[in-house]
Structure 1
């Protein structure tokens, strides 16, 4: 794959030295297949293991990848602007499919390795595993396509640029603080409505708790066995290694075995608050739809109710209807997982990108300001205006102007309104003669 990529790049970037460079690259490609075994053999002879050789090769690959980005990235961006939009969209879809396949493969490998070659994998949960795998592919594909949209991609590039330029340690600290306020505490929702904040917090923590319990169990990363010397003691295994012990009929056992019930009650509480708000808030009622607003609540409600019904059947009904409820619960969970990449649930994965947007906003406030070409007042950050001028032509809007003001975005909002009013007045005067 590497040689093929190089042979595609050579004619593009070195058209006049195509024969010479192609010969050199071909020779290096042959040498590339010759040296790694020697390098791995050297490490095995000297150290008795080969993993340092793989680590060294990975480091070399990372350095070459960085050098390639420094040399060819600007040229690639210039060429991308000349590519037809249809071809660009096709390339984005192919790229997204490749990323989705890669991360799905990584997940499958993690399941196999984490469950000790499927030794601790529960076959009864295989249907959930396949649903998660399909959902992973869909989420990564959708996210990759979304991140390549011109406005999103500008923020994506600018965020990583600021992360490097402003200092990794400093920026990482800011991102951690932003994650605490915007992802965990969700204070921006509390500023809008305390009811919405309580609703989001209950649904958020209920779903997080359910995922933290369910996914490791489904993947076989966590399993429980009875202690050989005491049948009333359970041993928790993490990736096949003993990670803790607890006695049955204790508070710890109650929390572990009924953690999903706790998460279900949290989600049901959040759903109740959501329905209460949607029945009373006229603004929400005006824009709500079945697919985007009620269908996610219906899925969460069905999952929570059928999950609690399993506990009721096991604890108080002697297992009556357990098989039927288990199948019904599986259907609801699978439906939610398959809905994950396409519906409102997808904003769960979009929300962390908001941290990069906040980082850009802070950098813009601290940096140079954009001065209005008409009144001379600062109206926005220069970085934001330049990004806006760059991305608007990519989505089909041309705001370039003739005269001293080269672009409509170089005017502040007040001057834009004045300009529109003056233009309308001029047209009216011309129409009236």
Structure 2
């Protein structure tokens, strides 16, 4: 029995119908897909202009037939009571309700109608099948946070049981806890790993220190899916080496579902089945493939709540090799609010700053994790966990690298910590600016 599909149907999510619709979309040739795509864009705009008072007010004085005239929606626009944003005929009792992670600093509650939510899951099921992973029969090792209140805790454990997964809490990544995780892999026939990038990388570093290749002690393991946080190339190589399995990069958002998923050819395929993805400049103008800009997404099926030209807060690049029905995400650079502003006026993506530092201070595996915080325009603090304090030589190397790749005259403060602060969901925010 497929417990996962059954649990969706019991809760009113028509997964069978959603799978059929998904298959129909994916069977379209390129020309038919173009027509489908334009039709769905116009349909969802017309629907919300007619049935959603919030969107009707938000998009007033625009031409619904001129896509580029439609306003771009931000998270700030949605930070108001959910009841104000629901379409006519939808209530909190007949929709799927969830909350964004808050990693952008702007959390809000959102809704999806039940078919839209089922279609989201159909998309995940389809992509996992690329790697012969089945939601019901493939055992998942899950590296996520878990609510600590009693009700939330047991709710997640029940969902884990229905989804055939075992959850490793990422709130404790000490060597003693990582050792317990390793023992669980020895005794459990896991088929794949799924979870936050930073915590999975920490597990891989532990295996490296112990000179252990994971699939030699858990031979059923055949894939690892990392999500929610940036995956750097050096970390991907580490994961491939220590796990001995393919590493799959997933990009999604709670309010939208799956945005991009890496295929077996190492291409990051954008979900164009039920989403319309644009790359826009600072003035909301579409950019050609190959140029860096803001990732703006439209949910083509969510009738309960409008996500039309919704600025997710991320920066990325679409490949020039992309086709209309096969968009390839070439690069995910980071969040728009993770920008370092320097004294000279220069701006740099915070993760660029992080990456420069990472290449210098992690080369001997002494430093387990670190985060960077911009405290003033010329002052940055690097908090790190390590077995030994950074030497003066290592600190000097970091300062030289930052001066070379960014600019001279910056003040860098180093602080060794026992643990780093994670969000209440277990995510590690690698760069933060207080400006």
TM-score, reference length from structure 1: 0.21
Report which of the two has the higher share of strand: 2
Of structures 1 and 2, the larger Rg is shown by 1
